[in-house]
Amino acid sequence: MTTELDHPFIGKYLRPEVMPHVMCPGCGNMSIANAFIRAVDKLYGSFENFVFVSGIGCAAWIPSPHFLADTVHVLHGRPIPVATGIKLANPNLQVVVISGDGDLAAIGGNHLFHAARRNIDILVILVNNYNYGMTGGQLAPTTPLGARTITTPYGNPEEPFDLAELMVHAGANYVARWTIIHTLQLESSFKKALQMEGFRFIEVLSPCPTRYIRWNLEKYEQLLEFYKNNTIYVNIARKKGVEEGKIVIGEFIVRDRPGYIRRYSELRKKAIDLWRREKE
């Protein structure tokens, strides 16, 4: 008989000591982990050379403590500057940030925009659950207009961020958005992004069954139906426009601007040449 602990990823990519994982029933977080590990398994066959950085919140727990790899679980909002320091200090490492929308786009928003602007060579996977799940389901900068949360019991009066569009304009080399029902597309996106340089951003919509959905939908299943019927691919959306309430998914941009690492190593060479020439 197989038990739930028998899985080819456990012991290779996931720490047996922390299985079964701690995510709530219906949470999309481990589906994202699954898609990510499948991508890594097909490309590299191991987590060797990977460093995962995450902040505070449910999504931050995807890598820490679950991933059998180097994982750095940092302060609320600060995974991106820590990842920046790690990547600059050892450019051979594949540095991946996995964290939530509150962590990366609210308290850590400043770092997110600037990391995209400077095109630092890290992959950021932003798990958007529309609210602060871990602290009890409060309003996030991604909560849809009108949606109810524990701090917007009469409906959200604020417009949410469109993070994928924001990252396109901030200068990221790769931007995609998927939902947790698009696991195959998500896996391909991970594969593509892992092999690129510069700043790469993948937003995954993975609403919180324990907090957000309870306030806004009668049944969890409605969410999956909603995703099936209300998502529209970005190329179609750009041609035909987007109806109110539809979610745009797909690859928003693929660029090949040099990453910060390449630019800085060129700068270093230039600085040394200049210094030697001045000395002569």
Enumerate binding residues for another protein (CB under 8 A).
17-18, 48-49, 51, 53, 64-65, 68-75, 78, 81-90, 92-93, 110-111, 114, 264, 267-268, 271-272, 275-276
With a CB cutoff of 8 Å and minimum separation 6, the contacts of 81 are 111
Q: Shortest gap between Cβ of 105 and another protein (angstroms)?
A: 15
Q: Burial letters for 138-160: b for 16+ Cβ neighbours within 10 Å, e otherwise? A: bbbbbbeeebbbeebeeebeeeb
Angle in degrees, 0-180, between the axes of helices 79-89 and 260-279, rounded to the nearest 10: 50
Q: Shortest gap between Cβ of 70 and another protein (angstroms)?
A: 5
Identify which of residues 28 and 63 has a Cβ nearer to another protein in the complex. Answer: 63
- Tokens describing residue 46: 């191991």
Identify which of residues 118 and 191 has a Cβ nearer to another protein in the complex. Answer: 118
Identify which of residues 28 and 81 has a Cβ nearer to another protein in the complex. Answer: 81
> Comparing C-alpha atoms, which of 97, 133, 92 is closest to residue 112?
97
Identify which of residues 214 and 270 has a Cβ nearer to another protein in the complex. Answer: 270
Identify which of residues 145 and 274 has a Cβ nearer to another protein in the complex. Answer: 274
Rounded distance between C-alpha atoms, residue 84 and residue 89, angstroms: 8
Residue 272 identity = I
Decide: 98 and 125 in contact? Cβ < 8 Å.
yes
> Comparing C-alpha atoms, which of 119, 111, 83, 61 is closest to residue 263?
119
Q: Shortest gap between Cβ of 57 and another protein (angstroms)?
A: 13
Q: Shortest gap between Cβ of 59 and another protein (angstroms)?
A: 15
Sign of the dihedral through C-alpha 269, 117, 122, 35: negative
Identify which of residues 115 and 181 has a Cβ nearer to another protein in the complex. Answer: 115
Identify which of residues 42 and 268 has a Cβ nearer to another protein in the complex. Answer: 268
Q: Shortest gap between Cβ of 65 and another protein (angstroms)?
A: 6
Q: Shortest gap between Cβ of 143 and another protein (angstroms)?
A: 24
Q: Shortest gap between Cβ of 247 and another protein (angstroms)?
A: 29
Helix (H, G, I), strand (E, B) or coil at 73: strand
